[in-house]
Amino acid sequence: GIEKASVVDATPIGVNVRSTVATYSGILDELRRAYAKLDSSKAAGLSARDFSYNTGSLRCPRCEGTGEITLDVQFLPDVDIACPDCEGRRYGPDAEVHHRPGADGEIALPELMAMTVAEAAEHVADLRKVTTRLQALQEVGLGYLTLGEATPALSGGEAQRLRLVSELDRTQTGTLFVFDEPTIGLHPLDVRVLVGVLQRLVDQG
């Protein structure tokens, strides 16, 4: 009776710092489209692509959107530090010009990316898809992660729960989930959250 098997293990998500919580969850794509619709963006001739920190024109020119630079230390391994120009925000100063209405004033995309999932949720109530995904991240206990946090740096348990987010709104009839020690290192309150998520998957078939 099994139609699909989903392995949810603790292997790192993404291979470099360009993979973030916002990109993996699909949130950044929605935010880029929303910022591209602003009057200031249209006046500047900007599209959703320009708001990408990977290839867009608004990314930080020094770190090229990675948020960090590498120092060549003689006789020692290279050292990665936060980019001194953008302070790890990945965007150049031109991105700060474009603001959307937030919970307590207008907010630019770099500011939003620096917020935690829980904080950002208060500023995007008008974006249904973004709100739904942020809510799912909070439901699996990841409300404390920032949107711009690099996914390779997440712990094994965090990586597992981030993978689960995309499964929460699907019918799971005939699906077998295989977990790799999902409660290792979790606080008892986080275990309770995880058990609730697992029960939700069971309730979906």
Pick the closest to residue 37 from 98, 81, 110 (CA basis): 98
* Residues 145-172: tens digit of each pLDDT: 999 999 998 888 888 888 888 888 788 8
Over range 42-57, report the average pLDDT.
Answer: 93
Mean pLDDT, range 66-95, rounded to an integer: 90
Cα distance between residue 148 and residue 31, in whole Å: 13
Predicted confidence (pLDDT) per residue in 93-136, tens digit: 999 999 998 878 899 999 999 999 999 999 998 999 999 999 99
For 9-31, how does the pLDDT look when each residue is reduced to its tens digit (9 = 90+)? 878 887 788 999 999 999 999 99
**In degrees, to the nearest 5, what angle opens at C-alpha 180 toward C-alphas 178 and 181?**
125
pLDDT digits (tens, 9 = 90+) for 65-74: 999 988 888 8
What is d(CA 128, CA 149) in angstroms, rounded to the nearest whole number? 22
> What integer is the mean pLDDT of 172-184?
86
Residue 160: the pLDDT is 85
Instruction: Kindly state the average pLDDT of the residues 71-93.
Output: 89
Give the Cβ contact number of residue 37 at 10 Å: 10
Structure tokens of 184?
Answer: 């290792």
SS3 content of the chain, % helix, strand, coil (to 5): 40, 15, 45
Question: By C-alpha distance, which of 155, 160, 156 is closest to 201?
Answer: 160
**Helices then strands, each counted (H, E), the chain:** 8, 6
What pLDDT score does 90 carry? Answer: 94
Residue 91, pLDDT above cutoff 90: yes
Query: What's the CA gap between 121 and 115, in Å, rounded?
Result: 9
With 90 as the cut, is the pLDDT of residue 200 above it? Answer: no
**Residues forming beta bridges with residue 108, ordered by sequence position:** 99
In which band, very low, low, confident or very high, does the pLDDT at 76 lie, cut at 50, 70 and 90?
confident
Measured between alpha carbons, how far is 195 from 203 in angstroms, rounded to an integer? 12
The better pLDDT of the pair 84, 205 is held by: 84
What pLDDT sits at residue 89?
A: 92
Q: What mean pLDDT do residues 135-146 have? A: 91
pLDDT at 41: 94
Place of tokens 């937030």: 102
> pLDDT value at position 181?
83
